[in-house]
Structure 1
């Protein structure tokens, strides 16, 4: 409390102070108000945002100048009420401010400070821009949507669980592999341990506990899983330890693959040796037999396909010297010698590379079984394998997905911006000279020439609007849209729009009824953006209304707002599509686009501009009857 008192005393002097130095260095937005709500002090950042750097705000009525009329009385009363509160009872709320760049939302934190020796009371307000926080949150949300889409299309299962095996994240082909829905796991109704075969449960818990509690631990094992329908499945589970940096909380992350087909193939080979060739060729895995001389004595169709050879080209060849890359050849050969000598038992599963005819290295997940004769002597091995090359690539892609998506979004925005600017420069010349030709400035035109120049002018205007839409979209996506709010006459703006569409209206043989009283007040709007909105709305009505139809334009006052209605007798919109039409790039259907043209950006841009004006836009429509567009805007005070 003493520190704040010292700060207030420090700020009362017009000379340089420690307090003003702190505000200058930190860039904080702060303001001190007296009991009449006039500014006693404003930090440099506050002046820069609300007025401009170097402008003194002292003595200005804070609420009358910088708080929008629609919330002014409510916020003023809320602040007045604080004078009755003790020092340590600040209030915090969100409210808009009128800045140099338009109306933006801020988080207010308001303190009541008393200076007993002077008998004065003041309000100390700290401001934080909340619009940028919402923009960042929206960007994160969009990235999460793309990331979630990628995860949910994953053919295995990804999950994360705590030490009690409570799952807080799970995605992938959950229903197909387990028979349960995602919500069953997240709600705690089903735990992963509930699915495991009783004979495999203790082994899974042992390795899972290590993966949870031992930093850096990683393991991969196969277990039997009981599907919801009672079917037994074999799954390969890769587990590793992970830790939350913030809380140092340890948990397990796992990747699960259904390897039932691989296991099924293995069982068939053991049980039905007399039908081995028949079963081997229909199996979905690579299968082969290698004898003690390291020669291939049996190979199935799948293995030949992966290796790129015919069966007769493979049989009799030394497996290690012919089909393994040099980097793994020596160590794999040594391990095989130990296996056939009985010194080593083959691991249940092992990843290793093979070399194809084309020189490509493919990663295979192998399961090896030792073959013995009737006397128990080792005569070779039989191996079944799954080509996991693509799976491994996808695991790497998954780790990079978030950064790649951000990079793609940035490249897209930069491309649209560059393309739009590059198109706009030559278009200015095309439009200008075509208008000169069309108006006869460069000489008289015959009927055919006039028709051609009319088409050029009309389409250059259409192309300019498209480019302007793309430029605006890029500005909005970058968070750089700026509006200058001035008094604007809706009547004059509508008249200008109708005048620009006059030839199109006449050509369409549509009657336009405009009822806007001359006494109607002005609205608070941007003089550049508001005509674009009205042009698009009215042009849409002209475009979608058949010859002989009508358009009715009306403006009425409703309290502190003006309500504009543009009603037509056009083709209308179905109720199912009304909820989608303000979305970016949304088109009702392909045939409509081909017939009437358009990019699906117009209504999205209209809504973006109207929202920035503090207004509202909505549409009422009935198919084959017509459409009414409603827009409300604040009256200029």
Structure 2
């Protein structure tokens, strides 16, 4: 390669500068520079891929762990501890799930301990006892047996158990005892009002007078235990359903990111925002479960202050607008700006309104209406949530605040209900010194009225 430039002095050329360099040197320099660019690009590409894989794995693994954990919980297994070392929303959610499972295990252990005590009581004959003679007829009964049955079967002495109780289950247990030649235990259900569930232990009684072997039946009333067991099963099933639904959504978004969507920054940001929202929803669900437990144990703390209802109502309405929009439900709000402030815990008040509004939207058919309104009277602020939903039978309105009570269990489960919402509301309203009233007509809708005391300045 050859380059020459003139040297000028004014208009006169007084000399030339010439530079000559072999083309091979130029090509080598160009190739070296190109190599540096290629290597730099490859390094950046590999680093980007590693970073993407790291963050994708960091998001996916905890969520998959939680999904597997809840699956085991759903099957009734004892899954141990959910190990997720993270300080973000997922980490907080894992800690709350661990706490919830620990509390459940404590309650299950308490039930098992109580059952063990019941079995010990059988052998002591403190419970209901029947003695059968060698012909299988009732020869004697104790006061415990009379107390359990409440005299509903009249005089049973001299009758066989089948004649006395008309229970095929008890007769089958006796047949099993005679066939086995040893002790037999069986659970029986007496369907007469009131319905009673009994555990019966059948054992031989040796050393009786005249050397005859007789039979002793020891009954223990486990009706309450069975109700508690059913409550526990319903609780676990409902919680598992509520947790699994958003977890499935989170997993779907993460898998989409893994399949390549993470390369699109806008899409990735949108998906991650959605994942965070679902994780927040899970966290709020677990907090609700812990809330009702803490309320019942008297461990919930309240921070009362002067609260303007209008601001709280506006923020809460935004949270339910999306769900209402999906069903085509119109949301209306009539909150006067001049309402007096109320004495309330800001966070708990939001929780109350969210629960009531969410219920209204959940049980209102598509195209219905939900209205939030408020007014003041007699030193109270009354908040009303009215809907055009399915309504509640008149004879069941009084039970709506009971824990786990649902008017239509199948429909409530399909809609994601756990039966805890109004129970939480009832407890929180009582803690505020207020009350809850419910009016409803089947097929026409429901109105929930919440009464809060007005804030009064103290000197």
TM-score (norm 1): 0.37
Residue aligning to 1:203: none
1:467 aligns with 2:286: yes
5 Å matches for 1:444-463? Answer: 444-445=266-267, 456=275, 459-463=278-282
Q: CA deviation at 1:613?
A: 0.5
Q: Specify which of 139, 152, 171 is matched with residue 147 of structure 2.
A: 171
Aligned to 1:522: 341
What residue number does 1:364 align with? 205
Does the residue aligned with 1:609 lie in a helix, a strand or coil?
A: helix
Q: Is the 8 A contact 1:155 1:173 kept in 2?
A: no
Distance in 2 of aligned mates of 1:454 and 1:559: 45
Residue aligning to 1:545: 364
* Equivalent residue number for residue 180 of structure 2: 305
- Partner residue of 1:358? none
* 1:443 and 2:262 matched: no
User: Relative contact order (C-alpha < 8 Å, sep 6+): which is higher?
Assistant: 2
The equivalent of 1:616 in structure 2 is 435
User: How far apart, CA to CA, are the structure 1 residues paired with 2:322 and 2:174?
Assistant: 70
Q: Is the 8 A contact 1:491 1:518 kept in 2?
A: yes
| Structure (1 or 2) with the greater helix fraction | 2
Match of 1:385 among 214, 222, 227: 214
Deviations 1:275-319 (A, max 9, x none): xxxxxxx9x989xxxxxxxxxxxxxx97563169xxxxxxxxxxx
Shift, 1:553, TM fit? 1.5
Distance 1:546 1:458 in 2: 25
Q: Select the residue among 434, 448, 457 that pairs with 1:629.
A: 448
Flag structure 1 segments of 5+ consecutive residues without an equivalent: 1-142, 161-168, 180-226, 235-259, 265-281, 287-300, 309-360, 370-380
Offset, 1:515? 0.9
RMSD: 4.8
SS for the counterpart of 2:430 is helix
Structure 1 segments of 4+ aligned residues over 3 angstroms from their partners: 150-160, 301-305, 365-369, 452-462
Structure 2 Cα separation of the partners of residues 482 and 565 of structure 1: 26
In the other structure, the counterpart of 2:303 is 484
Q: Distance in 1 between matches of 2:127 and 2:399?
A: 25
In the alignment, structure 2 segments of 5+ residues that lack a partner are 1-113, 131-140, 164-170, 184-201
1:583 offset after TM fit, Å? 0.2
Asked if structure 1 preserves the Cα contact closer than 8 Å seen for 2:381 and 2:452, the reply is yes
Distance 1:441 1:541 in 2: 41
- In 2, Cα distance between equivalents of 1:152 and 1:514: 62
The answer (yes or no) to whether the contact 1:152–1:173 under 8 Å persists in 2 is: no
C-alpha offsets along residues 67-104 of structure 1, whole Å, 9 cap, x if unaligned?
xxxxxxxxxxxxxxxxxxxxxxxxxxxxxxxxxxxxxx
CA distance, structure 2, for counterparts of residue 466 and residue 483 of structure 1: 19
3-state SS of 1:175 partner:
coil
- Distance in 2 (CA, whole Å) between partners of 1:559 and 1:304 is 74
1:155-234 counterparts in 2 under 5 A?
Answer: 159=143, 171-176=147-152, 179=154, 227=155, 233=157
8 Å Cα contact 1:524/1:635 also seen in 2: yes
